[in-house]
């Protein structure tokens, strides 16, 4: 499993660099990621508070944030929805049977977790986060308003880059379920990813009907396969 130390030491970058023939993409260098982070922090809204930086997680950051934080709240954002719209040919899939991973696509809303990074740890922890989420250019970092029970927060989240070749667009639920049920890679299975997100959402008392429906479709596929 990815963790704070391994990500900081370059495991994601090295994995992608050594498998460019699979991803068909050159990973961003540490210098490129640093420039991206610097530009993102420059864009921080002036009306945000000075109590650190908030990060909104909606996928694997729910169950494995891999950065140090001092506060975690249930949060909701508007303008984006959680979507299985990234093809994964590495990590939780393969070239022959790619998996699907979550991103935020435009429209709707999304419930997840808001993490606060302490002011003195912003640079170090966001550098680790960028090493993971911005290893490729599949995501775009944006500032969003996060609605929490502690009031509105201004934080960073990662939305899909629709220009990236891994962007799957809108995939039909039955096809998503098929890939989730069968795809696996060096980091595990796509089904494990879904199950961990669902468990994390349940812990936050969040019910995502779309993900629950996908899990039921996967179960039906598995049951059908076991009776063949």
Task: Give the catalytic positions in this structure.
Answer: 133
> Structure tokens of 219?
């179960």
Instruction: Report DSSP state, residue 97.
Output: S
Which segments of 89-201 are extended strands (E)? 99-117, 139-148, 151-160, 184-185, 188-189
| Cβ contact 111:207 at 8 Å | no
State the CB neighbour count (10 A cutoff) for residue 116.
Answer: 20
DSSP string, 176-219: HHHHHHH-EETTEEHHHHHHHHHHHHHHTT---HHHHHHHHHHH
């Amino acid at each position: 499993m990815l963790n704070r130390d391994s990500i900081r030491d370059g495991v994601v970058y090295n994995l992608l660099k050594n498998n460019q023939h699979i991803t068909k993409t050159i990973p961003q260098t540490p210098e490129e990621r640093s420039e991206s982070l610097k530009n993102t922090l420059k864009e921080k809204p002036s009306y945000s508070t000075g109590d650190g930086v908030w990060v909104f997680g909606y996928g694997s950051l729910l169950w494995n944030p891999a950065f140090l934080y001092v506060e975690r709240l249930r949060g909701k954002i508007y303008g984006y929805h959680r979507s299985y719209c990234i093809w994964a040919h590495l990590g939780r899939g393969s070239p022959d049977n790619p998996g699907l991973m979550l991103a935020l696509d435009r429209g709707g809303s999304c419930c997840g977790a808001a993490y606060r990074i302490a002011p003195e740890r912003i640079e170090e922890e966001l550098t680790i986060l960028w090493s993971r989420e911005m290893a490729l250019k599949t995501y775009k970092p944006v500032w969003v308003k996060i609605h929490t029970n502690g009031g509105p927060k201004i934080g960073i989240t990662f939305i899909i880059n629709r220009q990236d070749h891994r962007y799957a667009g809108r995939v039909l639920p039955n096809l998503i379920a098929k890939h989730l049920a069968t795809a696996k890679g060096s980091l595990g299975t796509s089904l494990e990813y879904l199950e961990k997100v669902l468990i994390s959402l349940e812990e936050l008392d969040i019910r995502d009907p779309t993900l629950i429906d996908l899990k039921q479709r996967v179960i039906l596929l598995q049951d059908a396969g076991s009776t063949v």
